[in-house]
Chain A
């Protein structure tokens, strides 16, 4: 029987927004979302900016506490067992947050130490990952501020994987990357999933990426999971020729990059 790696039931999260001096309104970032991901599966969440993708990843990463609902990651519930959850997750976010003055090596060794790992072994693992991602060894000592966004994102992936997590949370890992870097990252994730059986939860705007990497896909709009299934299932259900059209038909939205007031509230 397939084991469940991620189980989310009736998850809700709202943020308060100040409207004027005394008025406050409540905006739902995640509104009664339920889904599950099997161990070794790559599951994609698609939605425009402000649809709740990042809030969901942040809840699973122990960085945000949900208002209500049930979250279980590989047998550990959140937020009660967040200490155990932190040992089994790796996260890559859309913005590669690093100490930009430090080199890739210094940032990665710092992370290894933070996880209580042997820095030498972790450093070697990071070098192996970066080589697989098509990065030259010489760049390892270069300060992050001198690297392109694509390179920084590859370091970010190496950081998440150097602790060898069974569960990987990827929040738009290829957004803003050039086509070559995007392909490198996608190939690496495919290979990782095949080789290590890592469970991957991926949020993205990119339909082609979702189709290529994900076994199942969930459409998220205004904090609600409006549909889920394989790409073929979703297209059939919507009577659409492409996943893009299926998304528009099922959610009534387009995956355009637009500023959403919800993103501002969370800021």
Chain B
């Protein structure tokens, strides 16, 4: 047990020190996240429409959290490929579950910090009241959807194992596709008809729908001064789907990773490149 805790801590230790050494880039990425989120939210402000602003703010916040979580997990494996250290991780007597748990935990901490920074940034650009928002419900929905997104991140982490360069490209294409179909900034009804069924496959769709209800978006009782957030019971349907997705995606992502690791060892694809 003690050894497992140390192994999990290894990834938090590594992540913290890498973050420290790349602090300039961390500031740049967070600045960019705040600015892009603010520019999206300001579309609603310009329309003088608090419901639109709220829709965009919720979309920006959740997308920052979910995409950061997904991206950090996938890219941490890509980073290991670039540095050539993935071989040493695979050579260590550590189970893949503990390895990926450690990676995911650091990604989670990073995603939470970035989301808080973006939230503070958005509060500077918009004057939305957050009174009446069902914050507890939002936290519950985020906690449940985190599991599903970690599963997606593990799936995406498979690509860099297959190919250091092409893997990172595939990771971003996959992320972009989720952004497109999940209704982050718009109703999925505006998507072409043939694309709309795809949104049902993205956990982000349910996270956003649930959180918008909990924020009071579209609720006739919401006003510009007070938001009428729905109770948690109003998002039971989304929570159940998210829980089911998490229960499937997390073990499936881990399974896919282990399978691809074995394939890479058979074909010699693990060899350091770059």
Contact = CB atoms under 8 A, between A and B. Distances in A.
Say whether A and B bind each other: yes
A119 B18 contact: no
A113 B7 contact: yes
Contacts of B85: 97-99
Given A99-B18, A102-B21, A116-B2, A267 B266 contact: no
A78 to B, nearest CB: 11
Interface stretch (A1-9, A39-47, A61-69): A61-69
A110 interface: yes
Contacts of A98: 83, 85
Interface stretch (A82-90, A198-206, A214-222, A237-245): A82-90
Given A64-B266, A98-B83, 4 more contacts: A87-B93, A102-B18, A115-B7, A115-B92
A190 B92 CA distance: 25
B120 interface: no
B172 interface: no
B6 interface: yes
A119 B10 CA distance: 10
A256 interface: no
Contacts of A61: 87, 91
A97 B272 contact: yes
B13 interface: yes
Contacts of B272: 95, 97
A254 interface: no
A159 to B, nearest CB: 8
B262 interface: yes
Contact of B87 (A63, A83, A113, A267): A63
B213 to A, nearest CB: 42
Interface of B: 2-4, 6-7, 9-10, 13-14, 17-18, 21-22, 83-85, 87-94, 262, 265-268, 270-273
B267 A116 contact: no
Given A113-B10, A119-B6, A267-B273, A97 B88 contact: yes
A65 B262 contact: yes
B3 A89 contact: no
Nearest to A94: B272
Nearest to A16: B267
Nearest to A91: B91
A117 interface: yes
Contacts of A15: 267-268
Given A64-B265, A97-B83, A99-B85, A117 B6 contact: yes
B2 A99 contact: no
A183 interface: no
A66 B34 CA distance: 50
A111 B88 contact: yes
A158 interface: no
B268 A266 contact: yes
Contact of B14 (A55, A83, A110): A110
B160 to A, nearest CB: 15
B109 to A, nearest CB: 17
B83 A114 contact: no
A106 interface: yes
B271 A266 contact: yes
A63 B90 contact: yes
Contacts of A109: 13
A114 B92 contact: yes
Contacts of A99: 14, 17-18, 83, 85
Contact of B91 (A62, A79, A95): A62
A197 interface: no
Interface in A52-84: 55, 58, 61-65, 79, 83
A58 B92 CA distance: 14
B14 A116 contact: no
